[in-house]
Amino acid sequence: MKKNMQIDKALRIIALSLVVVISGLSGLIHLAQANTSTTLNQTINPGSLTMDFKDNSEVSTTTSVTFGALAVSATCQQTATSSLGSATQRIWIDNLNAANNGWTVSIGAATSSLWHNVASTSKYDFNDAGGAGCTDGDADTFGGQMFIDPTAATIATGSVPTTMTGVSAGAATAFTSAASNVTLIQAAAGSDDIGKWKAYGFGVSQKIPANQSSNAYSFDLTVTIVAN
């Protein structure tokens, strides 16, 4: 009697274990039953070209760029260079077999965009080259110019075996009314069609016209990734 109970218990253990194994495997593969052969099929669909800002755990997060406060000045002044992204908050780029002739990451704003305070009563420009960025020289009535330095950035692979082949930083430049987009990163046609990259530390600075009133000013920039 005792022996029968033990056998019964063992059989139950074996049966339950088999259920677990078969159930788990069915989530991973499909088996084709055939008289003489079994074929395993796996389809991998191509993904997309994506870009996002993530923290060190690769969780999406928002980001902003801030400058140290400046005092009101009777002369034109330039902020210290701030940084877009850091070692713990980076731009992540995934090309999952979506861009097969390279891609470009650029940063920009609408041509008529302006720095503004909350009430939008005080403004200055981001893309006016007048007076070396200090005075108004374009269609609006505000001076001011923003500078972007991609050469200060760290651009690296985000996974193995992604390579840096054909991936390079754009040149340091300023926004102008004719050019409201600055290239941050360019990937040539020979760059990896499947790869992951990370980038941070793009230099950003702003020239502020003389006599700009004291306020907290904000601005919107958009980073775009596009397949070539």
Partner 1 sequence: MTSKKLVLLNFSLFLLLAQAAGAVEYGGIGGRPAYPRPDNQRTESIFIHSIELGETKKEGIKVLNNTGEEKTINLYAVDSVVSSGGAFSCAQLGDAQSDVGNWIKLTKTEVTLKPSTNEVVDFSITAPANADVGEHNGCIILQEKKKSAAQGSGIAINFRTGLRVALMVPGDIKKNLEIVEMKVLKDATKITYSPSVKNTGNVSIDATIKILTTNLFGQVIVEHGGGYPILRGQRSDWNFELANPYWGGWFKSSMFVSYDIDVKTEIGKSSGNIKTLAGPAVWFFVMPAPLALLVELAILVLLFTLLIYVFVRLNRLRVIKKTWQLTSVSENDDILSLAKKYDVDWKLIAKINKLEAPYTIKTGQKLKLPPN
Binding mask 104-133 for partner 1 (x = CB under 8 A): x-x-xxxxxx----x---------------
The single residue listed with the structure tokens 């992604």 is: 162
Using CA atoms, how far apart are residues 119 and 113, in angstroms rounded to an integer?
15
| 87 sits near partner 1 (criterion: CB under 8 A) | no
Q: Site for partner 1 (CB under 8 A): which residue of 188, 211, 213, 214? A: 188
Query: Closest CB to partner 1 among 39 and 45?
Result: 45
Query: Closest CB to partner 1 among 1 and 28?
Result: 28
Contact criterion met (CB below 8 Å) for 125 and 154 = no
Q: Site for partner 1 (CB under 8 A): which residue of 52, 81, 137, 157? A: 52
**Which three-class secondary structure state does DSSP give residue 105?**
strand
Question: Least separation, in Å, of the C-beta of 204 and partner 1?
Answer: 7
Using CA atoms, how far apart are residues 142 and 38, in angstroms rounded to an integer?
73
Positions 20 through 49 that interact with partner 1 (CB under 8 A): 20, 23-28, 46-49
| 222 sits near partner 1 (criterion: CB under 8 A) | yes
Contacts of 170 (CB under 8 A, 6+ apart): 106, 150, 151, 182, 183, 184, 185, 186
Using CA atoms, how far apart are residues 100 and 135, in angstroms rounded to an integer?
44
Query: Closest CB to partner 1 among 16 and 72?
Result: 16
| 50 sits near partner 1 (criterion: CB under 8 A) | yes
Query: Closest CB to partner 1 among 135 and 186?
Result: 186
- Best CA proximity match to 199, nearest among 150, 151, 156: 156
